[in-house]
Structure 1
Amino acid sequence: MSRVVKNARLTAGDVELTVDPVNGCRISSLRIGGTELLRQGERYGCFPMVPWCGRTENGLFRNGGELHQMPLNSPPHAIHGTGRDTTWKPARQGEAEAAFFYDLADPWPYEGRVTQSFELTEESLTLSLGIETYGDSFPAQAGWHPWFLRNLGAQDVRIAFDPAWQEERGDNHLPTGRRIDPSPSSQLLSSEGDPVPGTWDDCFGMPEGVDVRLTWPEQLELTVKSRDEWVVIYDEQAEAVCVEPQSGPPNGLNTAPRLVTPIEPLEITTTWSWVRL
């Protein structure tokens, strides 16, 4: 029987990655040359969003004729899946790579397994998520929610990307179904030098694959890439910004369902690569 590991530490040169399987198999720390990149705290770091991403409207989704209710953990919606609140078990671990899994359980109504793997080098981190079913097919989503520190000690991070469209956000914080031109966001400092929260809590489409660059001037340039085309950018907090590659848009269980079947699991990969400035 697989034992539970409190923390798994991976290293490659002077890069250190810490994964906390007990707290939702989230990355609790990513340090490059001694500099922490992720906001610290049990709710932060970088957690997997699975088996759905972002908000699911009123916590409801259908699978054919069956209607299912998820807990409203962000009323009036259900948000970010159940994986971040689950203890994961180890599948393997080496010096610079590891994998963990958990079996889907109540309140998720379908049986299956979720696996997350980590591969670290001195210049990159590759994350993979897979969802497989033990029986019935079901809609699902997967992705990641990293909390990158807005400031690493010098200037605020700059976010650069070229999306094809932005999903219009309704008053209920869900996409309306209308695609609009991408809007700008604040990347400024206050007169006292404090970070100023921006205006994004939005989903963008990148049909050639997610490709977002974060630059901390004179510190680090980090690029988030994924073959999948959806990314949510969140920068409304002063402490951190989020770049969230995912397999579908918020409320995608209802608007863009992607079925996990006995012969076709859901798989998504993202790679973070960095250059020191």
Structure 2
Amino acid sequence: MLIELEDHLTHLTLAPATGGSIVNWYVRATGQPLLRHSNEHAVSSGLPGKLGCFPLAPWSNRIAQGGFDNPDGWLALTPNSLSDPLPIHGSAWQQAWQVISHTANEVVLAMECDAPFAYRAEQRFRLYGGELSIGLSVTHLAEHAAWHGLGLHPYLPRRPGTRLQAKASQVWMSDASKLPTGLAPVPVDWDFQQLKALPEGLVDNGFCQWDGRCLIEQPELGYALECQATGADYFLLYCPPGLAFFCIEPVSHPVNAHHLPKRPGLKRLEQGQSTHLEFSMKYTTNVGGGLPPIVVAQ
């Protein structure tokens, strides 16, 4: 069953049973896709990675070494995706979510899972004035504490003129297994302090020292998305060459944080404790302005 929301500007379709995923978000007047368009084949595949966006909990991206050291001992993990040899993206994206509430401009989805430990996740989708807001939270249910992380995995249209602005000062370089090897200054081709086109070569890296804001301009599609994240000090940028999409993923921690010194961005949650991430994307027809300045309250 698909769930739909719309405001006077945009239309949103959700697939709760397919990992609590967004199927499509598009402009009502023109049909232009704000997230990568999902056709009937993509929907029928039952794979969140074929859709518009899916949640990442209780961690984002890959984990090495067959597991990680949890507060009560080693937690073994097995690969959970046919397309990756490492455990990836947690378990929430592979569960069926339930509709908790559905009003004219808001849907709340939730799920409970026992793997890799017991937790409850909730997503709150709000659509108003062309702005989609997603709140993702996780509550630890197991008796013993555990490390948690969160993220969202949106797929965005990529056209020749697509441009990105996202201010980050460092990037995690990675090896052939796509695991981080160390922090480095952002290379010129990956520096999005100012609006610029996406790189031609592959990017599949995590960026840090991010202010939580990004701008995505789509001149061929006639719009821009102004985005804001909280609870996400990092973003992952995935630009596969030759494909008509890219991903900029707000995440609470870098790739393989469970094995990095001090476990950056992860939260040690006791039973009943929660952590939260918010991400908003605002549709606007104003293309070419760049991100507005941050206004600091006096």
Q: Which category describes the TM-score, using the shorter chain as reference length? A: 0.7 to 0.9
Partner of 2:162: 157
Aligned to 2:174: 169
Alignment correspondent of 2:101? 92
Other-structure match for 1:225: 228
Amino acid in the other structure paired with 1:165 = Q
SS at match of 2:93: helix
TM-score (structure 2 length as normaliser): 0.81
Is there any run of 5+ residues in structure 2 with no aligned partner, and where? 191-195, 287-298
Amino acid at match of 1:233: L
Task: Map residues 51-90 of structure 1 onto 2, 5 A cutoff.
Answer: 51-72=58-79, 73=81, 74-90=83-99
> Does residue 206 of the first structure (1) align with residue 209 of the second (2)?
yes
Contact kept in structure 2, 1:52 and 1:253, CA below 8 Å? no
Q: Deviations over 1:43-63 (max 9, x none)?
A: 231011111101111441111
Paired with 2:204 and 2:64, the residues of 1 have a C-alpha distance of 16
Residues 24 and 260 (structure 1), Cα distance of their counterparts in 2 relative to 1, 3 Å cut? same
1:193 corresponding residue in structure 2: none
- In the alignment, does 2:23 pair up with 1:19? no
Provide the C-alpha distance between the structure 1 equivalents of 2:140 and 2:156, rounded to a whole number of angstroms.
32
The corresponding residue for 2:270 is 261
Deviation of 1:224 after TM superposition, in Å, equals 2.2
Quote the RMSD (CA, aligned, Å): 2.0
Identity percentage over the alignment? 21
Cα pair distance change 1:260/1:76, threshold 3 Å: same
Give yes or no for contact 2:16–2:98 (8 Å, CA) kept in 1.
yes
Mapped to 1, the partners of 2:22 and 2:92 lie a distance apart of 13
Letter of the structure 2 residue corresponding to residue 21 of structure 1: P
1:108-119 counterparts in 2 under 5 A? 108=116, 110-119=117-126
Q: Contact 2:72–2:145 at 8 Å: present in 1 too?
A: no
Q: Which runs of at least 4 in structure 1 moved beyond 3 Å after TM superposition?
A: 185-188
Counterpart for residue 186 of structure 2: 182
CA separation in 2, counterparts of 1:128 and 1:100?
A: 10
| Count of residues in Structure 1 that have an aligned counterpart in Structure 2 | 258
| Kept in 2: contact 1:54–1:251 (CA 8 A) | yes
Which residue of 139, 144, 147 maps to 1:136?
Answer: 144
Match of 1:101 among 94, 107, 110: 110
TM-score (normalizing by structure 1): 0.86
- What is the CA–CA distance in structure 2 between the aligned matches of 1:78 and 1:59, rounded to whole Å? 8
**Residue in 2 aligned with 1:7?**
2
The unaligned stretches of length 5 or more in structure 1 are 1-5, 189-195
CA contact 2:171–2:186 (8 Å) conserved in 1:
yes
SS of the residue aligned with 1:35? coil
